[in-house]
């Protein structure tokens, strides 16, 4: 493929003193060259202005072949852009030509080219050569010049300029002008794709923010008042939307006021395997199922059994499982019944013995198999006891050195906090402070981390008062 030569200008022979006619010719030649140079600069400037000003990429791409043909003084120009994956961008093919035969047929063939519908077409040299040959076949006697449109090392399209009068003879200036048009086009296409990507990210961010708001509303925004215990809870998601779940559910929601505070409450801690939006959606689904199950009044082991059967199909399709520790607490007797679906066993600080034990019961993950049995445990909480529910995002959190926070460090931190006789909120704050110091203040957690602290306040021992006999003396 060659190029049309610029208009040839021959300097007059200087065989002696210049005549007035020769001087006039030189002046006209200089003015012509200066005018042509100014015209070319104006054309390139107009394309640069359009690139900066047009918010509609289609309008800019329509302008490209017009400017290319006028700048290079050819009969026509053809722009064949590629999409981000390398396929021919059929909707953005633009052709400008003065009375070119079969113009519409060429556009139709380019749009229906089978190979052009495949990803990676634009980066395949063999396919680009076949594209060039196709264009050449429709203008067989024309001079044709083609150059690639490249941005950030990726092929963004192909620009053709042609002249039906015959072969083109290009000067270096012509080549540079053609390449400048191609480069400006590549930048425009790249900028538009970056803009579209940024807008997609903004939409996703908005959706995530909405999801995070909904999830935050589903998690309790404050701990309920339950007679005889002090509660504190916090969830710190690794992403905007997480898979951790904790809840406080009255088993008899119709009760109000003091009767509700004295009624039985379900205390739940769970974790959907995975992170982000999918885990958050499954957590939301399970929350609805569990809250419905709580109304049945069944013991914890039966609650988990029924929940496992209800969630089986949805979890199987998502290829995810759920760990869940379910317990119910009766304030009148201080008895806590519990069942565990392979969740981290809560830690129980026994104030009288000054030691920590685990609350655990046998049970499989929710969603692992349809028929699963769950063990039932029971414990009576005493004055000063502290119960810590948590997710594995706490114990699996990596520190600066690469070590995990692990259960041993959590037990040590809980023991120190409990020995100080703090409130449930103070204990929770102390545990998160210890976790933050271990992970690093400026580092993001890799997984959602949630903790719930339940404390039975210490009994208030009133001082004994000596009885005075106030009967009158005889």
Asked which of 162, 197, 232 is the last residue of a domain, the reply is 197
Which residues, at least 6 apart from 266, have a Cβ–Cβ distance to it below 8 Å? 247, 248, 249, 250, 251, 294, 303, 326, 327, 328
Q: In the chain, pLDDT over 90 holds for what percent of residues? A: 44
Question: How sure is the predictor about 125, in pLDDT bands with cuts at 50, 70 and 90?
Answer: very high
Residues 72, 162, single domain; the answer is yes
Residue 455 contacts residue 278 (beta carbons within 8 Å): no
**pLDDT digit string, tens, across residues 7-55:** 444 444 444 455 666 666 555 555 555 666 777 777 777 777 776 666 6
Q: Which residue has the tokens 């054309």?
A: 43
**pLDDT digit string, tens, across residues 49-70:** 776 666 678 888 988 998 888 8
Residues 187, 319, single domain; the answer is no
Question: How sure is the predictor about 6, in pLDDT bands with cuts at 50, 70 and 90?
Answer: very low
Residues 343, 448, single domain; the answer is yes
Residue 202 contacts residue 113 (beta carbons within 8 Å): no
Structural domain includes residue 208: no
Residues 188, 232, single domain; the answer is no
- How far is CA 246 from each of CA 272, 338, 341, 375, rounded to the nearest angstrom? 11, 15, 14, 21
Residues 274, 423, single domain; the answer is yes
Q: Which residue has the tokens 């063939």?
A: 109
Structural domain includes residue 349: yes
Structural domain includes residue 37: yes
Structural domain includes residue 154: yes
- The domain of 237 spans 219-455
The sign of the torsion formed by the CA atoms of 198, 202, 208, 211 equals negative
Cα–Cα distance, 280 to 272 (Å, whole number): 8
Residues 192, 229, single domain; the answer is no
User: How much is the pTM?
Assistant: 0.58
| Collapsed DSSP state (helix, strand, coil) of residue 453 | strand
Residues 162, 235, single domain; the answer is no
Residues 29, 165, single domain; the answer is yes
Residues 253, 383, single domain; the answer is yes
Residue 100 contacts residue 164 (beta carbons within 8 Å): yes
Paired strand residues for 187: none
For residue 20, give both structure tokens.
């007035």
Residues 172, 247, single domain; the answer is no
What is the domain-level CATH number for residue 289? 3.60.40.10
For the sheet containing 154-163, what is the strand order?
A: 94-97, 76-81, 154-163, 143-151
What is the domain-level CATH number for residue 120? 3.30.450.40
Number of domains making up the chain: 2
| Collapsed DSSP state (helix, strand, coil) of residue 319 | coil
**What b/e readout covers 63-97, taking b as 16+ CB neighbours within 10 angstroms?**
bbbbbbbebbbbbbbbbbbbbeebbbbbebbbbbb
Cα–Cα distance, 381 to 456 (Å, whole number): 7
Residues 231, 298, single domain; the answer is yes
Cα–Cα distance, 465 to 185 (Å, whole number): 94
Structural domain includes residue 315: yes
Element (H, E) at 49: helix 20-53
Structural domain includes residue 7: no
CB atoms within 10 A of CB 199: 10
State the average pLDDT over residues 270-286: 72
Eight-state DSSP code of residue 122 = G
Structural domain includes residue 464: no
Structural domain includes residue 11: no
Cα–Cα distance, 450 to 218 (Å, whole number): 15
Residues 190, 223, single domain; the answer is no
């Amino acid at each position: 493929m060659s190029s049309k030569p610029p208009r040839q200008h021959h300097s007059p022979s200087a065989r002696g003193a210049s005549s007035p006619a020769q001087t006039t010719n030189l002046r006209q030649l200089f003015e012509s060259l200066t005018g042509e140079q100014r015209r070319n600069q104006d054309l390139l400037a107009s394309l640069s202005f359009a690139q900066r000003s047009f918010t509609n990429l289609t309008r800019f791409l329509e302008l490209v072949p017009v400017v290319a043909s006028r700048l290079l003084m050819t009969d026509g120009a053809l722009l064949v852009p590629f999409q981000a994956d390398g396929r021919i961008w059929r909707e953005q093919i633009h052709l400008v030509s003065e009375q070119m035969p079969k113009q519409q047929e060429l556009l139709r063939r380019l749009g229906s080219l089978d190979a052009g519908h495949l990803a990676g077409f634009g980066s395949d040299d063999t396919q680009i050569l076949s594209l060039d040959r196709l264009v050449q076949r429709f203008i067989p006697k024309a001079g044709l010049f083609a150059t690639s449109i490249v941005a950030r090392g990726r092929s963004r399209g192909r620009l053709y300029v042609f002249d039906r009068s015959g072969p083109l003879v290009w000067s270096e200036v012509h080549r540079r002008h053609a390449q400048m048009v191609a480069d400006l086009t590549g930048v425009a296409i790249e900028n538009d794709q970056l803009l579209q990507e940024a807008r997609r990210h903004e939409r996703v961010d908005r959706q995530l923010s909405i999801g995070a708001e909904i999830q935050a509303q589903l998690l309790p925004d404050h701990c309920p008042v339950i007679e005889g215990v002090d509660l504190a809870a916090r969830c710190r998601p690794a992403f905007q939307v997480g898979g951790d779940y904790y809840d406080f559910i009255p088993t008899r929601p119709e009760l109000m006021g003091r009767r509700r505070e004295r009624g039985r409450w379900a205390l739940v801690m769970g974790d959907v395997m995975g992170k982000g939006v999918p885990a958050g959606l499954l957590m939301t689904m399970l929350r609805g199922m569990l809250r419905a199950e709580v109304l049945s009044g069944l013991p914890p082991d039966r609650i988990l059994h029924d929940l496992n059967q209800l969630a089986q199909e949805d979890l199987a399709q998502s290829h995810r499982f759920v760990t869940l520790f379910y317990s119910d607490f009766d304030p009148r007797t201080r008895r806590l019944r519990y069942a565990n679906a392979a969740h981290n066993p809560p830690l129980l600080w026994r104030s009288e013995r000054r030691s920590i034990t685990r609350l655990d019961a046998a049970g499989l993950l929710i969603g692992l198999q349809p028929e699963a049995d769950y063990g039932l445990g029971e414990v009576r909480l005493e004055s000063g006891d502290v119960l810590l529910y948590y997710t594995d995002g706490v114990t699996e959190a990596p520190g600066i050195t690469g070590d995990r926070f692990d259960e041993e460090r959590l037990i040590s931190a809980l023991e120190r906090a409990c020995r100080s006789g703090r409130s449930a909120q103070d204990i929770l704050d102390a545990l998160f402070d210890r976790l933050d110091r271990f992970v690093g203040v400026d580092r993001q957690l890799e997984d959602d981390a949630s903790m719930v602290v339940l404390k039975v306040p210490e009994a208030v021992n009133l001082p004994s008062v000596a009885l005075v006999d106030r009967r009158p003396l005889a």
